[in-house]
Copies of this chain bind each other. A is one copy, B any other.
Amino acid sequence: MPEQSPLEPVEGDPFGPHNLPYGVFSTADEPGRRRLGVRLGDAVLDAGAAARTLGSPYAKLLDQPGLGPLMAAGRTAWRDVRRALTAWVTVPSHRAEMEPLLHPLGSVTLHLPYEVADYVDFYASEHHATNVGRIFRPDGLALPVNWKHLPIGYHGRAGTVVVSGTEVVRPSGQRKAPGDDAPVFGPSAKLDIEAEVAFVVGTPSAQGTPVDLASFRDHVFGLSLLNDWSARDIQAWEYVPLGPFLGKSFATSVSAWVTPLEALDAARVAPPARTEELLPYLDDAGEEDPGGFDLRISVALNGQVIAEPPFSSMYWTAAQQLAHLTVNGASLRTGDLYGSGTVSGPGREQRGSLLELTWNGTEPVELADGKRAFLEDGDEVTLTAWAPGPDGTRVGLGEVRGRIVPAA
């Protein structure tokens, strides 16, 4: 049977020409040369070479070692470049020229596609926040009193954001059991995941000028999956009063692929009904775009699906998070990344962290190779997701994969 060209449409492929996520790759024969690529099925189109070959004016944005220049070019450029790429991979007359510029996905190395400027992590699932509140603060309110009034967030470490596939070294740190007199030091015994969706800022904004809800599409270039690796024992001891620090900062994994916002137009859905009146800068009742995204996430541990968190259940939307993040005048830079917070739905199998799935280890999940309360060395976690696309298609998000290696 002749090998099928990636330019031949495959019915039901979530990475068909309606998707076209961006990434950065290098090949085995030129490992030092990073190039911008666009994923098509199980292949990568060398986008810079394609633009050069076709004499496209977008070569200056695409013939680059990273996504930064395209991300900084703004919404009109994002739309025009996407239209051009769609034509290049679908118009039959381009086929002969494009064919040689496609690399099998398995033959390339994928890199972090942009330099992360600031990284912020939110806490936007009511189900997750309630579960965590019950576990960590059993004597207090499950949901903090401010939770329904503002999307709670905090800054994380941009320098330790790594691309899918990077191994994660089990962190060491201080932890103290409630009954102990003093903390002890050692490898985390409660290493966990958080299944999240991340939004990547393209267009910067000026310090002192908030970005309102309606400007979300002008600033956010695209999205990807994110695994906010969390050491629960380190976090529990350190986080009062200034928030998570070393329990999170050792590694955060993101997809190698950034899905353009436009590819998810058919996946826009209304967020859950709000139960508290929102201040005007967060009130999205009158916004043109529904704020939610109908992304169906799947969490696999050593190949076995352990949860399917629905992103549509998130209380706070990405547009609200951006409006909140900038309402004090904080500026945006190209490459700012913000995570949604753990995605957990109301169901038991919809929880996006082991903390919740195992109720802080008390109800282990059953795997083919034994029970898990938290992650063991050698465990591999893979997040995948898809969303409804145009005309009954599915839009796939690039996976986030990471394997735990023993503490140094």
Please report A residues at the B interface, Cβ cutoff 8 Å.
117-119, 123, 136-137, 144, 146, 149-150, 152-160, 162, 169, 171-174, 176, 182-185, 207-210, 231, 234, 237-247, 249-251, 276-277, 279-281, 324-325, 327-333, 336, 408
Q: Decide if A182 touches B328 in the complex (CB within 8 Å).
A: no
Q: List 9 A-B contacts (CB under 8 A).
A: A118-B159, A149-B182, A150-B183, A152-B245, A155-B245, A159-B330, A171-B328, A182-B276, A249-B325
B residues within 8 A CB of A234?
328
Contact A242 B123 (CB under 8 A): yes
**A336 / chain B contacts, CB cutoff of 8 Å:** 159
**Contact call B246/A160, Cβ cutoff below 8 A:** no
A157 cross-chain contacts in B, Cβ below 8 A: 118, 155, 330
Q: How far is the CB of A187 from chain B (nearest CB, A)?
A: 10
A153 nearest in chain B by CB position: B245
Docked complex Cα distance between A238 and B123 (Å): 12
Task: Determine the distance from Cα of A237 to Cα of B173 in the docked complex, in whole angstroms.
Answer: 30
Least CB distance from A112 to B in Å reads: 12
Count chain B CB atoms within 10 A of each CB in A119, A123, A155, A328 and give the residue with the most. Answer: A328
Alpha-carbon distance between A118 and B158 when the two chains are bound, in angstroms: 6
Q: Are A160 and B331 in contact (CB under 8 A)?
A: yes
Q: Is the CB of A328 within 8 A of B249?
A: yes
Complex CA gap A250/B176 in Å reads 34
Which of A123, A152, A280 neighbours the largest number of chain B CB atoms within 10 Å of its CB?
A152
Whether A207 pairs with B328 at a CB distance below 8 angstroms is: no
What chain B residues lie within 8 Å of A156 (beta carbons)? 155
Which of B174, B251, B279 makes the CB contact (< 8 A) with A150?
A: B174
Secondary structure at the A interface, as helix, strand, loop or mixed, is loop
* Contacting pair B144 A240 (CB below 8 A): yes
The residue of chain B having its C-beta at the shortest distance from the C-beta of A328 within the complex is: B171
Contact A249 B330 (CB under 8 A): yes
* Contact status A328-B243, CB under 8 Å: no
In the complex, the answer to whether A249 meets B155 with C-beta atoms within 8 Å is yes
Q: Are B328 and A209 in contact (CB under 8 A)?
A: no
Once the chains are docked, how many angstroms separate the CA of A277 from the CA of B182? 9
Residue of B with least CB distance to A405: B208
Instruction: Specify which of B183, B245, B331 is in contact with A159 (CB 8 Å cutoff).
Output: B331
Instruction: Assess the A246–B324 pair: CB atoms within 8 A.
Output: yes
Asked if A159 meets B242 with Cβ closer than 8 Å, knowing A173-B328, A209-B408, the reply is no
- Pair B238/A172 contact, Cβ less than 8 Å: no
Contact B185 A280 (CB under 8 A): yes
Whole-angstrom CA separation of A152 from B144 in the bound complex: 22
A159 to B329, CA, bound (A): 12
- When distances are taken between beta carbons in the complex, the residues of chain B under 8 Å from A281 are 185
Bound CA span A301–B144, Å: 36
Contact check: which of B231, B239, B330 meets A241 at CB < 8 Å?
B239
What is the bound-complex CA distance between A408 and B234, given in angstroms? 40
- B residues less than 8 Å from A172 (CB atoms): 210, 327-329
- Within the complex, the shortest CB–CB distance from A14 to chain B, in Å, comes to 31
Q: Complex formed: what's the CA distance from A118 to B231 in Å?
A: 20
Q: Contact: B117 with A159, CB < 8 Å?
A: yes
Whole-angstrom distance between the alpha carbons of A152 and B238 in the complex? 7
- Smallest Cβ-Cβ distance to A207: which chain B residue: B160
